[in-house]
Chains A and B, each alone.
Chain A
Amino acid sequence: MTSSDTYAVVVDDLRKLYPVSRGLVGSLLRHPQRWVHAVDGISFNVKRGEILALVGESGSGKTTTGHCVLGLVEPTGGRVLLEGEDVTVLAGRSRKAELRRRAQLIFQDPYESLNPRQTVFDAVAEPLEVHHLVSGQKEKTERVVATLEDAGLKPPEDYFHRFPQELSGGQRQRVVIASALVLNPSLLVADEPVSMLDVSIRAEILTLLLRLRDEHGITILYITHDLATAAYLADRVAVMYLGTIVEIGPARDVLGSPYHPYTRALMSVIPVPNPRRRRERLVLKGETPNPIELPSGCRFHPRCPQVKEECRRMVPVLEEVEDGHFTMCGVPRRSPAAEDPARDLKDLKGPSATEYRRH
């Protein structure tokens, strides 16, 4: 069994199904119960101090996975271990407080996740009070000061009495991060933490997350649809499609030389901020099918540009194609890096960015 010393999170054959409402007529006529397969048998682990990005489109199951890891949603099958302990046990009444201290969630929308009537000080101090972690006002203030500084809100005293509406989006997200951080969690699940922020602010928040990992060894599960920020932040990347992980491995390998046709298509359509680099875009037709009636065989086959006859029948499994790099495509190819002409343009970088730094 995996050692709980090395892994912060172990997810083993996790399943989460939601029942589809049949309606009155449906249940009277005894229509069979149908299920939304939100997460359908996924396994992965996250080392301590590692940043794993779960990337995928809406409905891929990435957020449900994050909620299962935090014990917010009870899995239908499989299990999640947090530092070697089963999350469903931790989520039980007696140990729930402990679970909340150890694992925290950062929401997408900093405009919605702060109480507009609560000052920054109170927002950050509240978790300490809820968990009875401080004995006096002085200790509380010290913890809040240290946490606000950690979250990059300096000088902290300037923020104590401010309300969320007096803060910019970036500052709000720092407050959200601070109120998660104040409990010294070992795991942060960050669900699209920058997608609502302006471009110039995003980098700051991502850099903050990186620093928290480097300085405090916090493990981060980064949930996003944005492969470009995942490439910047994550050590490893798991690509999800219709409730399954189709490719997982080191970020450099998965995003730099993807095997799975879905990952390759996703990578090819990300707009590149340079008009000189035109790439061949593999735009998939249609949309992700609904997770109620899943396609037979490989789930991706109806949209796959390289579909073969066997894909309709055979359910693929993750296979290791390179060190630590797994892909689910039933017919793994050699790494496409060599054959893809667009890759040669990688070095052709606009002069502006580098030259500007010289000033």
Chain B
Amino acid sequence: MPLLEVQDLTVEYHTDEGRFRAVEDLSFSLEPKKTLGIVGESGCGKTTAMLALLRLLPEMGRIVGGQVLFDSVDLLRLSTAEIARYRWSRISIIFQGAMNALNPVRSVGSQIAEAILLHEVVPPNEAKQEVFRLLDLVGITEQRASQYPHQYSGGMRQRAMIAMALACHPQVVIADEPSTALDVMIQAQIMDLLQKIQKELGLSIIVVTHDLGLVAELCDDVLVMYGGRMAEVGSTEDIYNHAQHPYTRRLLEAFPDIENPRAELASIPGYPPPLNNLPPGCRFQPRCLVAQDICSLKTPPTLSVGSGHRVGCVRAAEMESRSA
């Protein structure tokens, strides 16, 4: 039984220039204690989908359809006060670039304490101990609690943000680009940390990223998004070794593999579609090498090609038989 189940989620942005669909008919689920990777390029809707499920969309964003079931409760039907009780205490999110959003004139410890007190996680007299416990969990010593963000390195600030995300004992943590902009070695430390806390706290994690290498090493399941829609979803093994969607395959070919540097690095001709000018039919069709006439006529159906492995491409079944 999945802990979090998103069904047919559709999100629009209503702007002066019109309505844009940023996410359309997105469905996926997250099992307890598992890690789901959501991959896609800029503008594919991955961050919008995450904000929508926590009802944190900016003012012009509207959820126009779908369900987000957390423990069988539809988060989209809760009142503002009710959803506020789910945020941080059930599902927390580490925003992209959040490590640069710490208040520069307050110590890191006091900022974490504020989150704890606001949500009444522990009585006020125990807040300090709780801050130390959280910092210890992410590998920051007590002495550094009284320091300010500028005295922290980028990696440490990201650790502090992870500690803050854990403050209210959530079951699900969403990490949006958790290691982008960090050095490789620090990135590896953050990955290790996420794996450690997942094991220790029995967390479910959603990692939103464009880094296919990170997903391969960290995730159990992978959702590939393109132009606001699901291109393919499946186990990490399905996606990396039996990809059925032409976009997934091209994306994997375009990603440099340090162990296989001589392999030709393929690029995907063209550019991801802008939301205000989506192509007709399948959104990948203008860049697809195996597109047929039908692809520009109608949105491809989602085909199930294996246990938990679904593909939004009319040619999926064909691909399977060819590569088998």
In whole Å, how far is A198's beta carbon from the nearest beta carbon of chain B?
A: 4
In whole Å, how far is A7's beta carbon from the nearest beta carbon of chain B?
A: 25
In whole Å, how far is A345's beta carbon from the nearest beta carbon of chain B?
A: 8
Residues of A with C-beta under 8 A to B271 = 168, 170-171, 201
Known interface pairs A228-B261, A287-B155, A352-B242. Does A198 touch B252 (Cβ–Cβ under 8 Å)?
A: no
A255-297 vs B, CB cutoff 8 Å, 1 = contact: the mask equals 1100000000111011111111110010110011000000000
- Asked if A346 is an interface residue, CB under 8 A from chain B, the answer is yes
Residues of A with C-beta under 8 A to B256 = 202-203, 226, 228-229, 231-232
A327-353 vs B, CB cutoff 8 Å, 1 = contact: the mask equals 000000000000000000110011111
Give the contact stretch, choosing among B91-99, B197-205, B212-220: B212-220
- Asked if B15 is an interface residue, CB under 8 A from chain A, the answer is no
- Asked if A207 is an interface residue, CB under 8 A from chain B, the answer is yes
Structural contact, A231 and B261, CB atoms closer than 8 A: yes
- Asked if B72 is an interface residue, CB under 8 A from chain A, the answer is no
Residues of B with C-beta under 8 A to A283 = 185, 188-189, 192
Structural contact, A352 and B289, CB atoms closer than 8 A: no
Q: How far is the CA of A226 from the CA of B259 in the complex (A)?
A: 13
- Asked if B122 is an interface residue, CB under 8 A from chain A, the answer is no
B:213-253 near A, CB below 8 Å: 213-214, 216-217, 236-237, 240-243, 249-253
Nearest-neighbor residue (CB-CB) of A265 within chain B: B185
Our pick among A169, A200, A273 for the contact of B250 (Cβ within 8 Å) is A200
Structural contact, B323 and A273, CB atoms closer than 8 A: no
Q: How far is the CA of A200 from the CA of B269 in the complex (A)?
A: 8
Residues of B with C-beta under 8 A to A114 = none
Structural contact, B240 and A273, CB atoms closer than 8 A: yes
- Asked if B143 is an interface residue, CB under 8 A from chain A, the answer is no
B176-207 vs A, CB cutoff 8 Å, 1 = contact: the mask equals 00000001111111011000000000000000
Known interface pairs A198-B42, A356-B249, A359-B290. Does A346 touch B259 (Cβ–Cβ under 8 Å)?
A: yes
A223-253 vs B, CB cutoff 8 Å, 1 = contact: the mask equals 0011111011000000000000000000110
- Asked if B258 is an interface residue, CB under 8 A from chain A, the answer is yes
Structural contact, A199 and B240, CB atoms closer than 8 A: no
In whole Å, how far is A145's beta carbon from the nearest beta carbon of chain B?
A: 22
Our pick among A251, A271, A275 for the contact of B261 (Cβ within 8 Å) is A251
Residues of A with C-beta under 8 A to B249 = 352-353, 356
B277-294 vs A, CB cutoff 8 Å, 1 = contact: the mask equals 000000000000110000
Total residues of chain A contacting the partner, CB 8 A: 55
A187-198 vs B, CB cutoff 8 Å, 1 = contact: the mask equals 000000000001
In whole Å, how far is B151's beta carbon from the nearest beta carbon of chain A?
A: 12
Residues of A with C-beta under 8 A to B260 = 346, 349
Our pick among A201, A228, A252 for the contact of B257 (Cβ within 8 Å) is A228
Structural contact, A203 and B267, CB atoms closer than 8 A: yes
A160-202 vs B, CB cutoff 8 Å, 1 = contact: the mask equals 0000000011110000000000000000000000000011111
- Asked if A355 is an interface residue, CB under 8 A from chain B, the answer is yes
Nearest-neighbor residue (CB-CB) of A285 within chain B: B189
- Asked if B305 is an interface residue, CB under 8 A from chain A, the answer is no
- Asked if A86 is an interface residue, CB under 8 A from chain B, the answer is no
Structural contact, A228 and B240, CB atoms closer than 8 A: no
Please classify the interface of chain A as helix (H, G, I), strand (E, B), loop, or mixed, using the class held by over half of its residues.
helix
In whole Å, how far is B237's beta carbon from the nearest beta carbon of chain A?
A: 6
Q: How far is the CA of A343 from the CA of B236 in the complex (A)?
A: 22
Q: How far is the CA of A111 from the CA of B208 in the complex (A)?
A: 23
Structural contact, B252 and A273, CB atoms closer than 8 A: yes
Q: How far is the CA of A287 from the CA of B185 in the complex (A)?
A: 8
Structural contact, B258 and A200, CB atoms closer than 8 A: no
Known interface pairs A232-B261, A275-B217. Does A198 touch B185 (Cβ–Cβ under 8 Å)?
A: no
In whole Å, how far is B181's beta carbon from the nearest beta carbon of chain A?
A: 9
Structural contact, A227 and B185, CB atoms closer than 8 A: no
Residues of B with C-beta under 8 A to A256 = 261
Residues of B with C-beta under 8 A to A270 = 184, 213, 258
Residues of B with C-beta under 8 A to A252 = 261
Residues of A with C-beta under 8 A to B214 = 271
Nearest-neighbor residue (CB-CB) of A205 within chain B: B267
Residues of A with C-beta under 8 A to B191 = 271
Structural contact, B241 and A273, CB atoms closer than 8 A: no
Residues of A with C-beta under 8 A to B5 = none
Known interface pairs A201-B267, A287-B155, A350-B241. Does A266 touch B259 (Cβ–Cβ under 8 Å)?
A: no
- Asked if B211 is an interface residue, CB under 8 A from chain A, the answer is yes
Structural contact, B257 and A58, CB atoms closer than 8 A: no
Known interface pairs A204-B267, A206-B265. Does A352 touch B184 (Cβ–Cβ under 8 Å)?
A: no
- Asked if A157 is an interface residue, CB under 8 A from chain B, the answer is no
Residues of A with C-beta under 8 A to B267 = 200-204, 207
Residues of A with C-beta under 8 A to B60 = none
Q: How far is the CA of A270 from the CA of B261 in the complex (A)?
A: 13
Residues of A with C-beta under 8 A to B268 = 200-201
Nearest-neighbor residue (CB-CB) of B290 within chain A: A359
Q: How far is the CA of A123 from the CA of B183 in the complex (A)?
A: 32
Our pick among A170, A171, A255, A273 for the contact of B216 (Cβ within 8 Å) is A273
Structural contact, B186 and A274, CB atoms closer than 8 A: no
Chain B CB within 10 Å, residue with most, of A200, A228, A256: A200
Q: How far is the CA of A276 from the CA of B242 in the complex (A)?
A: 12
Structural contact, A276 and B241, CB atoms closer than 8 A: yes
Nearest-neighbor residue (CB-CB) of A169 within chain B: B42
B47-73 vs A, CB cutoff 8 Å, 1 = contact: the mask equals 000000000000000000000000000
Structural contact, A284 and B185, CB atoms closer than 8 A: yes
Q: How far is the CA of A256 from the CA of B260 in the complex (A)?
A: 9
In whole Å, how far is A222's beta carbon from the nearest beta carbon of chain B?
A: 13
Chain A to chain B contacts (Cβ below 8 Å), 15 pairs = A58-B183, A168-B272, A227-B184, A267-B258, A269-B187, A271-B211, A271-B213, A271-B214, A272-B217, A273-B216, A275-B240, A283-B189, A345-B259, A352-B242, A356-B323
Q: Which residues in B have some Cβ–Cβ distance to A below 8 Å? A: 41-42, 153-155, 183-189, 191-192, 210-214, 216-217, 236-237, 240-243, 249-261, 263, 265-268, 271-272, 289-290, 319, 322-323
Name the 9 nearest CB pairs between A and B, nearest first: A271-B213, A231-B261, A203-B267, A269-B188, A228-B256, A200-B268, A57-B183, A204-B267, A198-B41
